[in-house]
């Protein structure tokens, strides 16, 4: 397996080490220029452009009249999806709902800051949100589950899903099943940059939204970047990435098994096994051919492209401390800490969007329904963003209430600072002049 990228940090230059942190979507400038005319066409032509791009890009049989999934299509989806898959979707949705119900903030809280003066927060749902569910390299009812459930828990009144159509013009049946079971009945057959534009501007069929969430291709990422002044584009979620951190208590073959999970998403994914144990690294290399032999050809092709390319492989460090430093520097979307004692490592790692502990918590389980959200920031954005959550679907308003008894003290202090900063109207509003009008009201 000499063609699998093997990076021994002790033998690498600083520039070579920095290159390991680069993702496939790091430079999307070429997509930016390609996306601009798509966005403008959707803005000016509406449904006609959306349907045309569906035919051109997705090779899908769609028209202006078939951009929305019908109730009959929803009903038919439950007949097309086998009972075992429906049961798995229900299982995942139940766990995801339980987790996000616990995450939901209380509607309002107030604290008495000083006697008679109260301050707090109020949380209200965003009025409209679009959920992007990709389809290019597969179908993803799990993304529907992860985006729709917290949105429904948050109480968003106007929810829609945008997802690329199949060549026959249909929506993936399992996605429709997951949407209905999660509580979303509006699904539009549109993907890519045109989907972002459609929900940003609105069309004759597609209702505009205030926000869009969900992972997507570089086309989607580019469209979000260009339309960030029109629609809230949420956390930056691009192509999949994972770091498997393994210490010397782990069998390298097991680590290699989990290394392939996110690598199979596509050649634009990123996947590293990071270990300070040469034994673990060599066992992983030896095990990969056997793992690939059990996978479908297309997924083997994708994962080999990642692990033999510039965004994946095995990283051998000289110490566990160097492994910690690499993980924190990489700030992965998914992180597995594979160890007999994973909690001993957890405190040393701060930069990861999702941390999965031990030998029995592979990314597969987290992706399909452990509970925490699997829509996660990529491209090192885990340093400032967290996973998609209920709070992504609500907005926070500050609440303040000062009683008559508390007013004089606050007014006096505010008056002093207003004068210092040179704001005469601020000062006037808390001057004795206010008392004249307060007395009139009384």
Q: Per residue of the chain (442 residues), give pLDDT as tens.
A: 459 999 999 999 999 999 999 887 666 888 999 999 999 999 999 999 999 999 999 999 999 999 999 999 999 999 999 999 999 999 999 999 999 999 999 999 999 999 999 999 999 999 999 999 998 666 789 999 999 999 999 999 999 999 999 999 999 999 999 999 999 999 999 999 999 999 999 999 999 999 999 988 889 999 999 999 999 999 888 788 999 999 999 999 999 999 999 999 889 899 999 999 999 999 999 999 999 999 999 999 999 999 999 999 999 999 999 999 999 999 999 999 999 999 999 999 999 999 999 999 999 999 998 999 999 999 999 999 999 999 999 999 999 999 999 999 999 999 999 999 999 999 999 999 998 888 876 6
pLDDT of residue 442: 60
pLDDT of residue 137: 61
pLDDT of residue 30: 87
Whether 334 sits among the annotated catalytic residues: the reply is yes
Q: Which of 265, 276, 334, 345 is catalytic?
A: 334
Tens-digit pLDDT profile for residues 298-339: 999 999 999 999 999 999 999 999 999 999 999 999 999 999
Token readout for 371 is 């509970």
State the Cα–Cα distance between residues 194 and 130, nearest whole angstrom.
13
Whether 40 sits among the annotated catalytic residues: the reply is no
- 3-state SS assignment for residue 164: coil
pLDDT of residue 114: 97
pLDDT of residue 248: 97
CA 342, 347, 348 angle in degrees (round to 5)? 95
pLDDT of residue 286: 96
Tens-digit pLDDT profile for residues 261-290: 999 988 989 999 999 999 999 999 999 999
Residues whose CB is less than 8 angstroms from the CB of residue 60 and which lie 6 or more positions away in sequence, other chains included: 54, 164, 165, 166, 167, 168, 169, 189
pLDDT of residue 257: 98
Q: Where does 133-174 show beta strands of DSSP type E?
A: 158-163
- Bridging pattern class, strands 312-316 and 270-275: parallel
State the Cα–Cα distance between residues 200 and 241, nearest whole angstrom.
27
pLDDT of residue 441: 63
Q: How far is CA 397 from CA 108, 123, 126, 150, 234, in A?
A: 9, 6, 12, 20, 18
CA 181, 187, 189 angle in degrees (round to 5)? 140
Q: Which residue from 134, 186, 178 is spatially nearest to 158, judged by alpha carbons?
A: 186
Task: List domains and CATH numbers for the chain.
Answer: 6-21+239-372 (3.40.50.1980), 29-236 (3.40.50.1980), 404-441 (no CATH)
State the Cα–Cα distance between residues 287 and 309, nearest whole angstrom.
18
Q: Which of 25, 262, 333, 336 is catalytic?
A: 333
Q: How far is CA 220 from CA 137, 230, 231, in A?
A: 14, 15, 13
Residues whose CB is less than 8 angstroms from the CB of residue 85 and which lie 6 or more positions away in sequence, other chains included: 174, 177
């Amino acid at each position: 397996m000499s063609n699998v990228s093997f990076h021994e940090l002790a033998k690498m230059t600083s520039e070579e080490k920095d290159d390991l942190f680069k993702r496939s979507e790091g430079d999307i400038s070429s997509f930016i220029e390609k996306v601009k005319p798509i966005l403008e066409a959707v803005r000016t032509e509406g449904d006609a452009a959306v349907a045309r791009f569906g035919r051109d890009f997705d090779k899908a049989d769609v028209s202006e009249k078939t951009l929305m999934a019908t109730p009959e299509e929803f009903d038919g989806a439950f007949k097309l999806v086998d009972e075992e898959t429906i049961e798995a979707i229900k299982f995942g949705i139940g766990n995801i709902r339980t987790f996000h119900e616990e995450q939901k903030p209380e509607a309002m809280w107030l604290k008495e800051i000083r006697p008679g003066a109260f301050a707090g927060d109020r949380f209200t749902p965003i009025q409209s949100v679009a959920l992007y569910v990709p389809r290019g390299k597969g179908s993803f009812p799990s993304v529907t589950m992860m985006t729709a459930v917290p949105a429904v828990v948050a109480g968003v009144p106007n929810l829609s899903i945008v997802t690329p159509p199949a060549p026959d013009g249909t929506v993936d049946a399992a996605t429709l099943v997951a949407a209905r079971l999660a509580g979303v009945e509006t699904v539009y057959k549109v993907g890519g940059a045109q989907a972002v534009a459609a929900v940003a501007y609105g069309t004759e069929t597609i209702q505009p939204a205030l926000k869009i969430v969900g992972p997507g291709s570089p086309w989607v990422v580019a469209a979000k970047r260009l339309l960030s002044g029109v629609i809230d584009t949420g956390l930056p979620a691009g192509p999949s990435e994972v770091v498997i951190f393994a210490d010397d208590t782990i069998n390298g073959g097991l680590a290699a098994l989990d290394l392939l999970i996110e690598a199979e998403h596509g050649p634009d994914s990123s996947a590293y096994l990071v270990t300070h144990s040469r034994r673990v690294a060599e066992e992983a290399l030896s095990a990969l051919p056997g793992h690939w032999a059990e996978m479908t050809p297309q997924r083997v092709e994708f994962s080999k492209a990642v692990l033999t390319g510039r965004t994946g492989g095995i990283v051998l460090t000289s110490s566990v401390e160097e492994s910690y430093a690499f993980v924190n520097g990489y700030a992965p979307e998914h992180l597995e800490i594979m160890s007999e004692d994973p909690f001993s490592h957890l405190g040393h790692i701060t930069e990861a969007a999702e941390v999965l502990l031990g030998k029995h918590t592979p990314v597969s389980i987290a992706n399909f329904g452990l509970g925490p959200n699997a829509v996660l920031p990529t491209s090192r954005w885990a340093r400032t963003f967290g996973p998609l959550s209920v709070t992504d679907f609500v907005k926070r308003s500050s609440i303040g209430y000062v009683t008559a008894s508390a007013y004089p003290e606050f007014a006096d202090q505010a008056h002093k600072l207003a004068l210092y900063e040179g704001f005469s109207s601020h000062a006037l509003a808390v001057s004795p002049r206010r008392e004249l009008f307060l007395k009139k009201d009384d």
